[in-house]
Every structure is written in structure tokens, then in C-alpha cells.
Structure 1
């Protein structure tokens, strides 16, 4: 999984919960993100074009058996290239994340390097 860790930051999209039943809107996201206790939900201040807002975020859960601690990019790429969760391959998730960021004009050098490293590993597996 790709997750924020303590003291981490990211650029992305903040979604506003509209409507009369914010709970019903949030629950599918909550069920997906909180499955397996890989995350901890946190309310944080988020800077937007319209000013600061309070947003619900999901950050890495250090108490989870899924938390590996800090890894270098090569070790992260190894895990992503071979990992698969209940929603599909980790490499596919990374690919979709990088593509979605690109569509939004967000270029995260770390994600792009990971994508290249994962692609190299998948190429070796496919040809080896």
C-alpha cells in the first residue's frame, strides 16, 4: 500500500462530503481504507485553494503487522512488484495512482521513481 507516515505530506485532492448524510457517503471509503488496520484515521489541517479546511486522512498504522517501517526505494519497489491485496496487484495500484496524479498535474518524484523501479522488476519477471 502507499501511505503517509508520521510527519509526511502530500499534494492531492480533498473531497467535500456533501449532502444530508455524510456518514453514508464516508462509510464505503472507511470500510475500504480501514480494512486490515493498516491505517489510522486522523483529522488534519489541509491547505486548499479556498483556504484551510479540516480533513479526514488515513496514515500508516505503526502498530499494524502490515507496517514495515522505513524502507529504501529499492525495497519498497520489491514489495510493490510482488504484492497483491484484496483489491488487486500493488503494482497496478501504483500505476493508477501515478496516472491519477499526472492527470491532476501532480508530479511526485518519489512515486515516479518507484514506478520506474517496479516496471524494471516486472520486466525482469516477464522475460526471465
Structure 2
């Protein structure tokens, strides 16, 4: 585990210096984790992709505020939980009218969310989109 956190710390430092390859590697390494957390927390809600994208954009945009680069994983999980909490609060403030959600937006809550996401959304395409979005936002 120490080798992984040391490697992550090196990637974080490179990403802080503007290395796009390092940002891409961080996204590639941690996108499945973020999808798993968000997917389980939101129980397959149609907004999972949006919350994941917001999480990754926020994390990459705030790398400078991470005090200890070896703590990237736990820091990212904390950001993920904050984005989930924010999503829930937004949802509670404006509850959906029953029956308005299209049936195709509802994912199977019994499915393994990481595997389902990788198959349905194409992880490579998602990583590329997130990387491109971070380049445009930064």
C-alpha cells in the first residue's frame, strides 16, 4: 500500500505542475473507485455520471489544496462524499414529481455498479471526456 501512495504522491505532484499525463493517470486509477462509491450511495440514480464528473473535476481543480499528496485516496473519497451529500441536499430541496423520471434512466440497483458502468459507459471514453473537461476548465 505504501508503494501505491508513494506513486500517487508522485502523480499528484506532477499533476500540480500541469502534467496532463499525470491527471489522466489519476483519473484512470480512481474513476472506478469514485463510480463505485457514488453508484452505491445513489443506488443507481440517473445522476451518478454527473456526480462522478463533478467529483473528478473538483478533485483535479483543487489538487493544490491537498496538504499531503500521499493521502490523495482518502482526500478523494472525502470529496466524493461531499458531492453525494450536496446531490442529496439538492434533491431534497426540489423533490421530483412521481412518474416524471423516464424508465430508461433507472439503473438496476442489484447490479455490480463498477462492472455495469465499465461495460455500459466505456471506461476509456469516460476517462477521455473527464480529462478533456479538466483541460478546458483549467
**TM-score category (smaller protein):** under 0.3
Larger fraction in helix: 2
Larger fraction in strand: 1
The TM-score normalised by the length of structure 2 is: 0.19
